[in-house]
Every structure is written in structure tokens, then in C-alpha cells.
Chains A and B, each alone.
Chain A
Amino acid sequence: MERDAAQAALDINPELVTSILDRFISTELYRAGFRRAVVGVSGGIDSSVVATLAARALGPDNVLAVTMPYKTSSEATRRDAQTVIEHLGVRSLDVPITESVDAYFRRFPDASRLRLANKCARERMTVLYDQSAAFEGLVLGTSNKSELLLGYGTQYGDLASAVNPVGDLYKTQIYRLAEYLGVPEPILKKPPTGDLWVGQTDEGELGFTYAEVDRLLVLMVDCRWRRAELVEFGFDPQFVDHVAELIRRNHYKRRMPVIAKLSSRTMDCDFRYARDWGT
């Protein structure tokens, strides 16, 4: 079958990507003075891939996989997380977040499902950052490019990390990489879910599949096709506009907080140094 432009642009060489990301993880950690990493492992594809990359780059003993189930987390999810941990032989820690999250919401019993989901994501972030100090390892991010562009993540929650090896890979590319890395079958096969509430799936919530949206995103963002070209290629104009708006509306999540500029040199504006400055 001949590849179309979208498929061609999404195709990666997983072996090459792995060799780059192996080196990326160890280099970024070592230059910051660390040899270990902490990963929140959910049983999903993204965190499984990140944990696998970390285990390869640093050795399984230097990786702490933290599972942080909430009371609504499904049995299947917990089992999948356990499968990955055992498969990789990394260190692990189970820190359920039900008690702390529920203690907070007892004061706000009418809180929406979204507030609960965001609170869970941020609770997990604080656990990871605390374990980061205890384990002396940096927190690895698991947000992929599809989620980052669509804003499908919680700011200062699952979007927070020290180093993110998979942020420039679309979800469909993550699957390709996962296959290459030998991520266990059940994780490769199940529909993506944030496990935010019972029966939740990403694609059900977003209203489109990653396979569809990644084809659009890669042509729109990476190949810089214009709207008319995308429509001519076969994308529904409403879908194109909706996705373009999601990208715009969620841009704040991808940036540092905006600072009112007053002085002659201002952070993130004209005070420009690389993060890796001096290392």
C-alpha cells in the first residue's frame, strides 16, 4: 500500500529514536547531577514507554516506578502497571491517592468531575516530586505531542516533569516505539485512557481517535499545510477548525506563566539562557 503524506510524515525509525532518547535521558539527568529517575506508571502506553526508556538508559535499579491509584482506578489498569514494572524489573512504590484527594473534597462535595480529575493529576505530581527527593531521581514526563498540542493534560499535574523524553512524539508514534521496545501486549492493545473515571477513554472524551487527529496534527503543525490544503486532502473542515482552536486555546499550558515586563531584562523575554547553560 502506498503511504500518503500524513503517514509518511508520521513514520519514524524506532531504533534511531530509541538510541537518541536513551542518550537524551542519561545526558539530561547526569548533567543535572542525577543518576536516577522517577516515573509515574499508570499502566498506559506513554508511561510504559517512558519507564522502558528510563530502564534502558539508566538501568532498572535506577528507576522508581510509582503507581498512584485512586479508588475509581480499574483493576485492569492496576494490573497493567504491575505487568510493566515486573517486565522491566524496575523498583516500584504504590502510593494510593484516595485518602488525600477525598479528604480535600469532603469540603467541596459538589465539585465537578473535571475538578476531581485535575486534583488527582496534581496529587500524583506532588507524590512524584516528593519521591523524587527521597529517591534522588528526576521526574520523567510522559506527555506526548498529541496531548501537548490538544491541551489534553492537567497543568502542573501530569504535564509537570523535569525531563520529558516523549513530548515530541505523536501518540501513534508512541505505539510504534512501544512495539519496538517490547511493551507487553495487553498495554499495546487497550484503548488509551486517563482512567479519570470509570469507563473513561481519551478518544471518547476528545470525540476523535488519535489515529485521525495525529494525521491532521502532523500535516498542520510539522508540515505546515494550510487549511484549504488540509480540507482538499480530505479532512472535515469542522474537524480542522476544532483542532486548530484546541491548539490555540491550550497554548498557555505549554508556556511558563506570563510575567509583566518592567525592567530591561525579564525572565522568559530578554533574559535568555539555555536551560542546559554551564552543563
Chain B
Amino acid sequence: MKATSTDAGLANGAASEPRGSGVLRVAMAQVAPRLADRQRNLAMHLGQIEAARQQQADLVIFPELSLTGYFVRDMVPEVALPRESAEIARLVEAAGTLALVVGFVEESPQHRFYNAALFAEQGKIVHVHRKVYLPTYGLFDEQRYFAAGERIEAFDSPRFGRVGLLICEDFWHLSAAAIMQAEEVDLLICVANSPVRGITDQGIRSAETYRLMASTFAQLLGATVIVVNRVGFEDGLCFWGGSRIVGPDGSVVAEAPMLDESLTLGIIDLAELRRQRMITPLGRDERLLLTIEELQRIKRRRYGG
């Protein structure tokens, strides 16, 4: 059986340098963007980048659609930017050596509009993720306004290793996490605009789900997981914040407050990754080829051919 062959050596990724000790300082910019006011949000980003730099951060992460706000609706074409735009370049340049994750509406050369997030490092855009899963149910209406992304792929960063970037609803699809596991990510970042949609005697339902997902995915992937959510209100919708960094053992490394704006710094101990992968080597034992064969069998059953 083909699938029994070892997967080792298949994905001998570019980031093959062993990373060991040291720390990474990550600033989570839990902000409340002004809805459809790009100029003001750009200024807010520049301020947060500067504040993160003063905290000696290595990476600053803004939430989903941080340049535009969430309920952009018919303003989508007006707030959209090509990734080569001067405004994006200005942010990337301002960040300089500080790595940066920003959420924006991306306009493609074909004039499609994507809910996108970029990762920039050393003055360059390294990766742009276009949100694949656009929620269109309940209060969500994203497929009306956005084109869906077509790829879920990780990328390499000299300082952060292999990195996965997902946007909000992507994180709720196990397949996205499974792909990131196959990508052998060291760091999984999810930027979100998660609202309150259900309150119990305990707390906010969606916040509890995120808390569980972040902790579970971190342990199952043997990776650091960072979720950065926004705060503030749009048309009655309350974004609950609660951004967090979870270590590969599932424990919380840093946590931003619920409901309020904050720039929260978390310190990632790089040695933790190695320890956890020794203790529970799930990535080592993962059978990628078996998974692919099973998925192909399921594809034949569900779609024929």
C-alpha cells in the first residue's frame, strides 16, 4: 500500500534550519477600526505599529479587515486596495524590521474583492491570504460582497519559521487546520472579527468556541496559535476581543482583555515547540499520504470520476 510509505522527506520545506532557543515578542493590536474610514484607520495602524516597536515587538498583528472595519457592505469597492497600493506600502515600510499582519479588502487585477490579510517582514509582503470560507448565514453576509480565496497555504519566515495565516471563519473549518498541520506550521495566526452571537449564564458562546479551538489546534498541531480579534460595535454587533497566544501545549501565553482595545504583548519561548514535539510527536506520526488517498476515495464517492 502506497500510503504506508513514510511521509518524512516529502515536505522538506525551505525552513529547514533548526530553530531552538530564544524568544519572540508578539504584539496583538486589539483595535476598533472606524467603519469604512481607511485614512483614519491607516493613521491608527501607524500609531499601533509605533507603540509595538516601543515594546520591542518582533511581530504586530491586527485583526481581520483592520483597515476597513467589518460591515463594509456597499462600501467594499470603495475601501478596496490592490496589494501593491501606496497605503499598504506605507504600512509595510513603517513596520520595517517589525513583522506585520494587517487585514484589508484586496482588489485583484480582475476587480474581484477579497477579504484578505497580509504578512510582511523586512519591508516586503511575504504572503497574502484571501479568506476562503466567507460566512453567509445568520448575521453574516460575506459572499454577497467578497470573492472567496482559492488557497490555504503556509509560508516561511526567517524568524517565525513556517507560518499559517487564516481569517476568522477559515479557523472554524477543520480542513483548514488539517492543511496547516500538513504544512507543518510552527505558528498559526488567525485574525478575526468575531461578534457576540449568543450569551449564556457563563459567557459569550463564540468566545468559548475560539478559546477551545485555539487551545485544541495548538496541541494537535504542536504549534503556537495566535488569535487576534477586534473590539467595538458596528450596527449593534459587539466584537468581543479576547485575543490570545496559546503555546504548543495548549496553555495560554498571553491574553488581551475582553471588549476593550489593547495592545497586548506576548512572549513566545521558542524552546517550547521542541519540547512539545518531543513529548507528543503528533506531526511526526501524521500519515499525509494515507490522508490524501482517503480524501481521493471520498472525492470519487461524492463527486464521481
Contact of B36 among A12, A24, A277 (CB under 8 A): A277
Number of CB contacts from chain A to chain B under 8 A: 62
Whether A16 lies near B74 (C-beta < 8 A) is: no
Whether A13 lies near B259 (C-beta < 8 A) is: no
| B-side interface residues, number (CB < 8 Å) | 26
Residues in A with CB closer than 8 Å to B203 are: 13, 16
Contact residues, A24-49 vs B (CB, 8 A): 24, 27-28
Residues in A with CB closer than 8 Å to B201 are: 11-13
Chain A residue at minimal CB-CB distance from B145: A272
Contact residues, A1-30 vs B (CB, 8 A): 8, 11-13, 16-17, 19-20, 23-24, 27-28
Whether B75 lies near A273 (C-beta < 8 A) is: yes
Chain B residue at minimal CB-CB distance from A163: B236
Residue of B34, B74, B196, B199 with most chain A CB atoms under a 10 A cut-off:
B199
A23–B232 CA distance with the chains assembled, in angstroms: 8
Whether B233 lies near A276 (C-beta < 8 A) is: yes
Whether B238 lies near A276 (C-beta < 8 A) is: no
Whether B200 lies near A12 (C-beta < 8 A) is: yes
Does B71 count as interface, using CB distance less than 8 angstroms?
A: yes
Residue-wise interface mask of A (248-279) relative to B, using a CB-CB cutoff of 8 A (1 in contact, 0 not)? 00000000000000000000000111111111
A279–B238 CA distance with the chains assembled, in angstroms: 15
Residues in A with CB closer than 8 Å to B35 are: 274, 276-279
A168–B139 CA distance with the chains assembled, in angstroms: 14
Instruction: Tell me whether A20 and B232 are in contact in the complex, defined as CB-CB below 8 angstroms, given that A13-B199, A13-B203, A273-B75 are known contacts.
Output: no
Residues in B with CB closer than 8 Å to A276 are: 35, 71, 233-235
Contact residues, B189-216 vs A (CB, 8 A): 196, 198-204
A271–B74 CA distance with the chains assembled, in angstroms: 7
Residues in B with CB closer than 8 Å to A24 are: 233, 236, 238
A222–B35 CA distance with the chains assembled, in angstroms: 28
Instruction: Tell me whether A273 and B200 are in contact in the complex, defined as CB-CB below 8 angstroms, given that A28-B233, A278-B37, A279-B34 are known contacts.
Output: no
A274–B203 CA distance with the chains assembled, in angstroms: 27
Whether A16 lies near B204 (C-beta < 8 A) is: yes
CB distance from A137 to the nearest CB of B (A): 19
Residues in B with CB closer than 8 Å to A27 are: 232-233
Residues in B with CB closer than 8 Å to A279 are: 34-35, 37
Residues in A with CB closer than 8 Å to B260 are: 23
A residues with CB within 8 A of B: 8, 11-13, 16-17, 19-20, 23-24, 27-28, 168, 222, 271-279
Question: Can you identify 14 A-B contacts, CB atoms within 8 angstroms?
Answer: A13-B202, A20-B259, A23-B233, A24-B236, A27-B232, A222-B198, A272-B74, A273-B74, A276-B233, A277-B36, A278-B35, A278-B36, A279-B35, A279-B37
